[in-house]
Structure 1
Amino acid sequence: MTYTVKSTLPDHDLKVVGEALQGELVDLVDLSLLAKQIHWNIVGPRFRSIHLQLDEVVTLARRYSDTVAERAAALGIPPDGRTSTVAAGTAVGTVNEGWLQDTVAVATMVAALSSSIGKARERMTAVGRVDSATEDIFISLTLELEKQHWMFQAENVSSDQRLA
């Protein structure tokens, strides 16, 4: 027996939304894994505060990956969060193996979040033309990612840097 969930969106619009949701799902799964990898391997004087902040990113990425996957499923698009799919399609970036100095960990997160935000904004624009409900998910997600990006950037400001 075959089960089918049908969307109310026209096929062309569904294709645009489906590609955006699938791409975002892959990036969010990878972002959660990257943040957890750093979380386990960070060392340095700011270990504790960054360690805890990384858990915030993991929670955010996991919460939104579920939201994104469920939105896809509600539209009749089977979400694919398998490791092989994530590894083949992520735009997040990589993390070095082994212990990571706190400054390297922060720089890695700033880069990963920057990439994630850029892709989320592209997808938000694409879906905004065809599905406001999905666009709303991307708007909320982008707000949260940008908040984390700001917080990690603030971690990288040293006392000898001038703030403009």
Structure 2
Amino acid sequence: MRIDTYKLKQLRMSKHWSQEQLATVSGLTVRTIQRIEATGKVSMESAKSLASAFDVEISEMLLEEAKAGTNREQLPIESTIEVIKDSFAQYSKFDGKASRPQYWLFFAFCFVSMAICTLISPALASIAGVLILLPLLAVGSRRLHDAGYSGWWQLFALVPLGIIGVLYMLTLESKKT
């Protein structure tokens, strides 16, 4: 049986649980949680435990047969829109974690939005920049936490060439805690 790993991670992040916390709540081992999130392969007993931990039906977590052949690294449009809406909704939440796809999808949205606003009007670009700044800093802080760094490292973007180090940290894999 295969589980939708993106949905599982999304459920885990919505509760702000680490893999260890999910393991404790579900009664599974941390290694089992890591294996399930990496491969999507799950036994019926483990799927029941996870569904019980999240208080959802097992069918909501299973990978649909139509999606089974697609590459899960490419997020569906609905998920992309949800990530953008979620990033704006959590504009003031600087604690917690955000995955690489979550950060870079939001970053790409901000970049394209600013480019379009700049083409339309510099005044519109200024307004958009002010509106986008806080959510971008918040999701950046959560991304750095996920990579094992403090969100304050974003301040190095203010130093000449400091943005290179910040961008490097933002690209690092999630730190297994």
TM-score by length of 2: 0.31
TM-score by length of 1: 0.33
Which structure carries more relative contact order (alpha carbon 8 Å, separation 6+)?
1
